[in-house]
Chain A
Amino acid sequence: FCSWCRRKVQYGSIFINWVDSRTIYVGHREPPPGTEAYIPQRFPDNRIVSSKYTFWNFVPKNLFEQFRRIANFYFLIIFLVQLIIDTPTSPVTSGLPLLFVITVTAIKQGYEDWLRHKADNAMNQYPVHFIQHGKLVRKQSRKLRVGDIVMVKEDETFPCDLIFLSSSREDGTCFVTTASLDGESSHKTHYAVQDTKAFHNEQEMDALHATIECLLFRSKRLHFVTFIFCRPLGSENLLLRGATLKNTEKIFGVAIYTGMETKMALNYQAKSQKRSAVEKSMNVFLIVYLCILISKALINTVLKYVWQSEPFRDEPWYNQKTEPERKRNLFLRAFTDFLAFMVLFNYIIPVSMYVTVEMQKFLGSYFLTWDEEMFDEDTGEGPLVNTSDLNEELGQIEYVFTDKTGTLTENNMEFVECCIEGHVYVPHVICNGQILHDCTGIDMIDSSPGGSGKREELFFRALCLCHTVQVKDDDSVDGLKKSQLSRRSCIYISSSPDEVALVEGIQRYEGLRTLCVAYKELTAEEYSKVQKLLQNAKLALQDREKKLAEVYEKIERDFILLGATAVEDRLQEKAADTIEALQKAGIKVWVLTGDKMETAAATCYACKLFRRNTQILELTTKKIEEQSLHDVLFDLSKTVLRHKLFLEICRNCSAVLCCRMAPLQKAQIVKLIKLSKEHPITLAIGDGANDVSMILEAHVGIGIIGKEGRQAARNSDYAIPKFKHLKKMLLVHGHFYYVRISELVQYFFYKNVCFIFPQFLYQFFCGFSQQTLYDTAYLTLYNISFTSLPILFYGLMEQHVSADTLKREPSLYRDVAKNALLRWRAFIYWTFLGVFDAVVFFFGAYLLYDNTVVTSNGQMFGNWTFGTLVFTVLVFTVTLKLALDTHYWTWINHFMIWGSLVFYVVFSLLWGGIIWPFLNYQRMYYVFMQMLSSGPAWLGIILLITVSLLPDVLKKVLCRQLWPTATERIQYFKICCFLSSDQPERKNYCVLWEAWYYAGAIKPSAIEHVTCIFDPNKLSYICLEGEGQYRC
């Protein structure tokens, strides 16, 4: 028996190239002697480790992880260079901020890991029952080993991957939900191994001698073939860790995969982190700046040695080197000089940018969760932010992939009508929660008298029998619709929401997904033939699914149609409005659904994705049988997807509907678009577990906190209660986030170019000696205190147009599409503006100071006063530049911007005001005050600030005047209304007028009562409405 078995196994291993195979002795019973040498395989224990660190390796490993990030590594190098060689700035200036960033991150990650440890421990110590020497033993889950026979009770989760041996149910089945695994809340039926399903107690189990061969492909989808008693086992015999036993008192199973080898553990190891387009641009800009930095340092090093080639310059009599300096190797000297220049200019890539960006994202995401309009009163849920890394990506979406059921629709199935033999039956009382007690309640609208009741009976019998609905006496049914009948204790659970509605429909008559019911009579012979075919297919080792499908194909033909049922799933509130807005915003909306085409198309029409005049291009082969339709689509996706033809066609469509999509296919479609030529930013939104794969695949995944569990919401980046909230999320929040962060990034680079470029220029005047222009305190605090808060709060508060306008005018979203504010042109503009400003600061100060006296008492200023003047102009200019860019001045902005400037002045007065003890230099003593006592310094500061800001103001005004963007037009009209709305009743006209004006294409019919005439003398508009006259 056994040898035959082994022969078979060996046979199996000949023709399939197994990646991994294992032999499991059930209950650790070694094979009888005489068989081949028994080599015990070693399997891991059942410990789950999701934590990254242990107590001991936390510090080194975390530091290693952190310094693997290029930015942190860069700052570390700078810091080390400052420590090792003699550099112009103190190591504190870069060490302190770096330490801060590293510590905060380490604390955060440590805390998260501690939470993971806690969760792991809870899981590993969870008690599990298993059989040892014929007795039931309770042990911690982590002690479970491969081969142990485990008992699982109802509502318990499986502690490892098990082969289902027997069940307390008579028929050897059990029901399982995989809600916590893949989120599918439906109950799936699993079957015990035929040979063991009769074993019902511990003793019987203990007596079991069996061997299981597991052959496993380590692909994403586990193909699973096992043998027990020379019987091939399939996934219906396999119970996966993390799934929950339902509706079954208890089961026995044997552990085959434990710990980190379980499918659950294998699956969650491969998660990639999403990065936003802004972050990618930022990294590119960083590299550009790194190149600029290196070239600056190189240029200066080379020039230094060219300049120093004359000995009187290298070492004039007044400035001799020390003996060790003189002896140092030339190349070593040149290298240290290069490093010193790097350190001098390193502020061009500031640590604070990372901190500010993170803070902006983190704090900014609160505005989303706080949004009252996105709070759903019915469910008591507001939006959830699972990651703040992608905030700005919400403003960049080009494709929205949406699930249909539960996302566009309510996922609230209601039985509407049925049609039997061409007669339509509708519920007697139309819904409204009214209950009809039995089938007799059906009112035959179109009943032909004398119609054979047989057909109806057959119809209902088919409905009653052919489903997977289970009757359950408990009311803790998760995920699925709970019956609204409180007085009934029966609740129906099923693997398809359609079916629940149907069963409920038969029970009571409430609320158009259609389902055809057909039948076929089989004779006993035919039945046994069919049965045999099915059995063979089920036993097949290879292509089992395919063979089964072939058999079903053979049987399921020549049906006699009985009738059809119709179930309605209502559209979610404002779904059409949302889709319309998204399309206006230039976002392509694709509906990916598992439903059949007709249902899905009807929904698309209802939610205005398709319009009456939309030309529909169907990429299907029309077949009545759904199975073949599925096949056609599947084949289509297989062949056409590869040929990119599908992509070409779909990209040119205004809307796309993909039907009969398996979860993985949804993800494939998303991936296909994501990786297409233009690399568009995609968003996937869905509510169910079948959407998780696409949610994870898309650039931004949105979960609907819906009926089908929280799986989608948990795996998403953001979760919202209803589909309609997507509109505000993208058009308002996304737009704001994007505008804010792009300005923040550009501004940070700009202000650091302004900051560092004068230092670079100064090297040409100080003999390339790495002398700093600014005092150390200024170098350290520039990014930390003087210029950090205004931009942070700009990044949190800015509203270039009002939220209402953004919502009303979705097309404004196009203005920021495709990373518009971070394109190369914008980046170069900002950089050049920075260089221009830096040149103005430096040479302005140079010309002001050059060989002349700027005080009224004839006394001279030194290099620190020069630097302070440049720095003062710098701080004021960059702050005022931000002020010019700010469109939304709340008291907070005022406080931050003016507060920063005041702080700078106060700090400078204080810093120079006393002789600081414990400081080995007093170079700033009274420098700032002396500078302020000089008239020309004041005049110079005012002049240089004006000159620095002038080009930007000019550019802004000219661009706005000559090539206004849609946003700018809206802004302009906002002012108009602002001015004219001193009388409240006029505001309405303004709004109308604004909409009309902006749209341009919209004919004035919508606002025919308002006429506006431009008044060139007043540079304003006069609007006439009837007798009234308004002026803007």
Chain B
Amino acid sequence: MAVNYSAKEEADGHPSGGVGMPGGGAGGGGAVKTRKPDNTAFKQQRLPAWQPILTAGTVLPAFFIIGLIFIPIGIGIFVTSNNIREYEIDYTGTEPSSPCNKCLNVSWDSTPPCTCTINFTLEHSFESNVFMYYGLSNFYQNHRRYVKSRDDSQLNGDNSSLLNPSKECEPYRTNEDKPIAPCGAIANSMFNDTLELYRIDNDTRTPITLIKKGIAWWTDKNVKFRNPTGDGNNLTALFQGTTKPVNWPKPVYMLDSEPDNNGFINEDFIVWMRTAALPTFRKLYRLIERKNNLQPTLQAGKYSLDIAYNYPVHSFDGRKRMILSTISWMGGKNPFLGIAYITVGSICFFLGVVLLIIHHKYGNRNTSADIPN
């Protein structure tokens, strides 16, 4: 026991407690309690209480109710999920037939970037807003060494951390005696493929507008990530004294041309910095907004995906994907939730029936066996 109440020891340790007490013996030691205990409900353990008992009788309706609620919800989710359009292309290029096969062993600093184009056909049109994701497989963003390799103070615009990043960033903390901004393995390995989408209409390639803002959490973009502060808004000056991450082709202040999407508050960067939970993950890349109510966002038809292939995944057996998806109130395509709800609902319903039978059959025997007549 961590804490040991040795009140007993206390009492025993002094059989001679009566030494100084003439006529010793009775009433020798310990506080003599003469006061009658209070007659309060709490002290007498008689607080009014609700005493529910889980019996077949009480649980039966609950099972039926759960069944009746879960099954419709499940069906609803399932239908919603099925109505979601999702299209996925693996552009890793491991297969020799793939147009991106030539870029398979690309390295970070290949200039000009290796480009490849993949044509695909959408069978169904995407009616509502389309979300464009890139997906990586076998990429351990959740590795401990990787997860902690960042400095949130630096990313929050703290000037001292900018020049003196946290030790957690090692070995991506400094390069050539200059602090790296943004430091750490996560930032260093930022996804840098460029994806462009074209609609092919009678051999004409129409670029599809990809919106790069609104892909990161609002709170991340506006609160958690901040550029360093100082005189003026010239990011180049603010990042003075730091160096770019080793793998990056250009420094952080040149990620984007727009000032409100540059530096640490670049949304692609912020998205990447939110480390994924599992080794197979997708990250939001671009948004495709529905232009008007008359035509779908992406009509059924031919499309082509232009890839500036910079990000090597072959060395660790990884895969790269591009995903186009519409979104409902419950997110993307996810058959699990609907099926799970339907299954659990059905099980509950079934159990309800079983319990009803048991209750009828055995309830009688158990509870009325001794009843006379």
Contacts and interface: CB of A to CB of B under 8 A. Distances in A.
A859 B275 contact: no
B16 A960 contact: no
B49 A355 contact: no
Contacts of B24: 157, 177, 179-180, 244, 478
Contacts of A180: 15-19, 24-25, 28
Given A115-B10, A316-B140, A803-B45, A48 B4 contact: no
Interface SS of B by simple majority: loop
Nearest to A125: B20
A770 B49 CA distance: 45
Contacts of B366: 961, 964
A71 B156 CA distance: 42
B371 A1011 contact: yes
B360 A710 contact: no
A700 to B, nearest CB: 12
Contact of B362 (A71, A891, A950, A962): A962
B294 interface: no
B13 A853 contact: no
A960 B185 contact: no
A4 interface: no
A1014 B138 CA distance: 63
A752 B51 CA distance: 27
Interface in A896-938: 915, 920-923, 925-926, 930, 934-936
A496 interface: no
B65 to A, nearest CB: 11
Given A943-B341, A961-B359, A108 B334 contact: no
B189 A319 contact: yes
Given A925-B224, A1019-B363, A714 B30 contact: yes
Given A848-B337, A850-B280, A69 B1 contact: yes
A377 B24 CA distance: 25
B271 A860 contact: yes
Contacts of A943: 70, 337, 340-341, 344
Given A179-B24, A180-B16, A853-B332, A766 B143 contact: yes
B37 A268 contact: no
Interface stretch (B117-125, B195-203, B211-219, B255-263): B211-219
26 contacts: A116-B14, A123-B20, A273-B6, A370-B37, A372-B36, A382-B37, A478-B24, A710-B29, A765-B279, A769-B146, A771-B143, A851-B280, A853-B332, A854-B332, A857-B214, A863-B147, A890-B47, A921-B150, A926-B219, A930-B217, A943-B70, A950-B344, A957-B55, A961-B362, A1000-B370, A1004-B372
A846 B22 contact: no
Contact of A858 (B56, B147, B327, B370): B327
B188 to A, nearest CB: 7
Given A862-B277, A863-B141, A920-B152, A179 B271 contact: no
Interface of B: 1-20, 22-30, 32-34, 36-39, 43-57, 59, 66, 70, 73, 77, 129, 131, 133, 135, 139-153, 156, 166, 168, 170-172, 185, 188-189, 214-217, 219-220, 223-224, 271, 274-284, 287, 312, 315-317, 325, 327-334, 336-337, 340-341, 344, 347-348, 351, 355, 358-360, 362-364, 366-368, 370-373
Given A859-B217, A863-B147, A943-B344, A317 B315 contact: yes
B107 to A, nearest CB: 9
Contacts of A179: 18, 24-26, 28
Contacts of B48: 890
Chain A CB within 10 Å, residue with most, of B48, B280, B316: B316
A-B pairs, top 9 by smallest CB distance, nearest first, are A179-B25, A318-B189, A853-B332, A866-B277, A354-B2, A858-B131, A180-B18, A1014-B368, A370-B43
Given A104-B3, A105-B3, A887 B143 contact: no
Given A921-B148, A947-B340, 11 more contacts: A244-B24, A358-B5, A371-B37, A478-B23, A854-B330, A865-B277, A887-B52, A961-B363, A972-B55, A997-B370, A1014-B371
A879 to B, nearest CB: 16
Contacts of A799: 45, 49, 51
B219 A925 contact: yes
A126 B20 contact: yes
A1014 B364 contact: yes
Given A88-B144, A156-B22, A714 B28 contact: yes
A514 interface: no
Given A851-B280, A920-B153, A925-B219, A858 B287 contact: yes
Interface in A342-387: 351, 354-355, 357-358, 361-362, 366-367, 369-372, 375, 377, 380-382, 384-387
A199 B316 CA distance: 104
A799 B44 CA distance: 12
Nearest to A262: B16
Contact of A319 (B15, B16, B143, B337): B143
A479 B327 CA distance: 87
B331 A852 contact: yes
Contacts, number: 439
Nearest to B328: A856
A120 to B, nearest CB: 9
Given A939-B330, A1013-B368, A961 B55 contact: yes
Interface string A835-852: 000000000101111111
Interface centre among A181, A241, A377 (most CB of B within 10 A): A181
A939 B30 contact: no
Interface stretch (A320-328, A410-418, A633-641): A320-328
Contact of B355 (A104, A957, A975): A957
A318 B192 CA distance: 13
Contacts of B146: 318-319, 769
Given A863-B147, A960-B54, A157 B43 contact: no
B25 A709 contact: yes
Contacts of B66: 946
Given A852-B332, A859-B284, A947-B344, A766 B28 contact: no
A930 B224 CA distance: 14
Contacts of B279: 765-767
A953 interface: yes
Given A319-B143, A851-B281, A972-B53, A389 B334 contact: no
B17 A915 contact: no
Contact of B19 (A157, A377, A476, A851): A157
B156 A856 contact: no
A892 interface: yes
Interface string A708-737: 011000110100000000000000000010
A710 B18 CA distance: 11
A958 interface: yes
Given A710-B28, A954-B351, A1011-B371, A856 B327 contact: yes
Contacts of A863: 141-142, 147, 275-278
Nearest to B27: A710
Contact of A935 (B19, B141, B145, B329): B329
Contacts of B32: 381
A921 B140 contact: no
Contacts of B336: 847-848, 850
Nearest to A863: B277
A20 B6 CA distance: 34
Contacts of A168: none
B190 to A, nearest CB: 9
Given A268-B13, A858-B284, A859-B217, A887 B53 contact: yes
A314 to B, nearest CB: 10
A1019 B5 contact: no
Contacts of B278: 765, 846, 849-851, 863, 866
A669 B55 CA distance: 45
A797 B47 contact: yes
Interface string A211-242: 00000000000000000000000000000011
A923 B215 CA distance: 18
Nearest to A185: B25
